[in-house]
Chains A and B, each alone.
Chain A
Amino acid sequence: MAIYSVYIINKAGGLIYQYDHSGARPEVEKTFSYPLELVLKVHDEKLVVAFGERDGIKVGHTLLSVNGVPAEGRFLKSDGRDIMDIIADEENYPISLKFGRTKLTTNERIMLASMFHSLFAIGSQLSPEPRSSGIEVLETDTFKLHCFQTMTGIKFIILADPRQMAVDVLLKKLYEVYSDFALKNPFYSLDMPIRCDLFDTNLQQAIEQSERLGISNI
């Protein structure tokens, strides 16, 4: 049971707050000999596994480091060499490569937030029943996304373990924390990113409490 992360989206679809709570993304380091069994491709300026899942390395994982030297996009951070060239050269083997799930950059998070904003609207438009809200719970095999939209159009989104109970209670609690510590902050302007320590600490406390105590004790 866990809460993975929290997103707050304003009524225009802009991301105004994001917090990752738990869930370190898995990383796998392995030594390879020539030729490399994995097929890599460049995607979004990153090297991504295109084919050949093995030993916990999955399709879609990004190359994070070569022989312990971190990668920066498709180049090595230390001397800026193209990693594709290094991998193609037999001289460099055996080689130790570290792979992991692609980390989301701030820009990607902003994009995902506005993507959800429109999915939410389409979900209600395609409803076979009248007066439907947008997406409230979206379920996958590894996580559940819970969304609560306030009367004023702000969306609170929690990604949680599928078995996590009482997420809707936590969502309401986050709304309360938002009204108390973001809205009442005289330095906060509406619909802008929330940068407020008191809000951060109270939000984290609420999440930890709901994880520990489970239901209704928030």
Chain B
Amino acid sequence: MTVYNFYIFDRNGTCLHYAEWNRRKQSGMDREEEYKLMYGMIHSIKSFVNRISPTDLKDGFLNFRTSQYKLHFYETPSGLKFIMNTDLSVGNIKDVLHQMYSNIFVEYVVRNPMCSLDQPIKSELFESKMDDFVRGLSFFPMRVA
């Protein structure tokens, strides 16, 4: 079990926060380009899922998996998007992403008057809290090298 990387996007598509842990392959493009591609993909998946679904959706898109990784997605009603890539053995972690929002993002970004909400987060406190939280997750342990 392992966590590869983690993105937070605001509702306009700005990448507020990015962190990576056990990532073994870079996308071969600029970070900024990668954020745009990731946001574009999520945006398209949301619209795709909305239209192709045979019945009305409540939460909409939750996660997808490929042969190598699993992408988990959580969106708040205000349009903040939390995206975490893990390996395939991780189950549903919607509550974990929600905790990251309510216990860390709200506490250390929204309640910090020095943080503007539409720009990448520069708070070191937030970054270290996020890092600690992810390292403490039950499914974080590094793969045996």
Judge: A and B partners, yes or no: yes
Number of interface residues, chain A, beta carbon within 8 A: 40
Do residues B58 and A132 form an inter-chain contact, with CB atoms below 8 A? no
Q: Of A115, A127, A141, A145, which one neighbours B66 at CB under 8 angstroms?
A: A127
Chain A residue contacts of B23, Cβ below 8 A: 128
A116 contacts the other chain (CB 8 A): yes
Among the 9-residue stretches A66-74, A118-126, A163-171, A210-218, the one with 4 or more Cβ atoms under 8 Å from chain B is: A118-126
Chain B residue contacts of A122, Cβ below 8 A: 37, 40-41
Given contacts A60-B50, A104-B51, A115-B48, contact A142 B58 (CB under 8 A): yes
Do residues B53 and A140 form an inter-chain contact, with CB atoms below 8 A? yes
A139 contacts the other chain (CB 8 A): yes
Given contacts A119-B41, A125-B27, A138-B45, contact A25 B60 (CB under 8 A): no
Do residues B4 and A132 form an inter-chain contact, with CB atoms below 8 A? no
The 6 closest A-B pairs by CB, nearest first: A128-B4, A132-B68, A133-B67, A129-B68, A23-B54, A138-B64
Chain A residue contacts of B71, Cβ below 8 A: 123
Residue positions of B touching A, CB distance < 8 A: 4-5, 20, 22-25, 27, 34, 37-38, 40-41, 44-45, 48-69, 71, 85, 87
Chain A residue contacts of B65, Cβ below 8 A: 135-137
A186 contacts the other chain (CB 8 A): no
Do residues B37 and A126 form an inter-chain contact, with CB atoms below 8 A? yes
Summarize A's interface: helix, strand, loop or mixed. Answer: loop
Alpha-carbon distance A135/B44, docked complex (angstroms):
14
Chain B residue contacts of A112, Cβ below 8 A: 48, 51-52
Alpha-carbon distance A118/B23, docked complex (angstroms):
23
Chain B residue contacts of A132, Cβ below 8 A: 25, 66-69
Alpha-carbon distance A138/B62, docked complex (angstroms):
8
Do residues B54 and A4 form an inter-chain contact, with CB atoms below 8 A? yes
Expressed in whole angstroms, the minimum distance between the Cβ of A156 and any Cβ of chain B is 15
Do residues A139 and B66 form an inter-chain contact, with CB atoms below 8 A? no
7 contacts across the A-B interface (CB closer than 8 A): A104-B51, A125-B27, A126-B37, A129-B87, A132-B25, A137-B65, A143-B53
Summarize B's interface: helix, strand, loop or mixed. Answer: mixed
A96 contacts the other chain (CB 8 A): no
Q: Of B4, B40, B48, B67, which one neighbours A136 at CB under 8 angstroms?
A: B67
A41 contacts the other chain (CB 8 A): no
Alpha-carbon distance A49/B15, docked complex (angstroms):
32
Chain B residue contacts of A127, Cβ below 8 A: 25, 66, 68-69
Q: Of A129, A134, A140, which one neighbours B4 at CB under 8 angstroms?
A: A129
Do residues A135 and B64 form an inter-chain contact, with CB atoms below 8 A? yes
Chain B residue contacts of A184, Cβ below 8 A: none
Do residues B57 and A140 form an inter-chain contact, with CB atoms below 8 A? yes
A26 contacts the other chain (CB 8 A): yes
Expressed in whole angstroms, the minimum distance between the Cβ of A129 and any Cβ of chain B is 4
Do residues A124 and B54 form an inter-chain contact, with CB atoms below 8 A? no
Expressed in whole angstroms, the minimum distance between the Cβ of A96 and any Cβ of chain B is 22
Do residues A138 and B49 form an inter-chain contact, with CB atoms below 8 A? yes
Specify the chain B residue showing the minimal Cβ separation from A118.
Answer: B44
Segment 142-183 of A: residues with Cβ below 8 Å from B:
142-143, 145, 159
Do residues B25 and A108 form an inter-chain contact, with CB atoms below 8 A? no
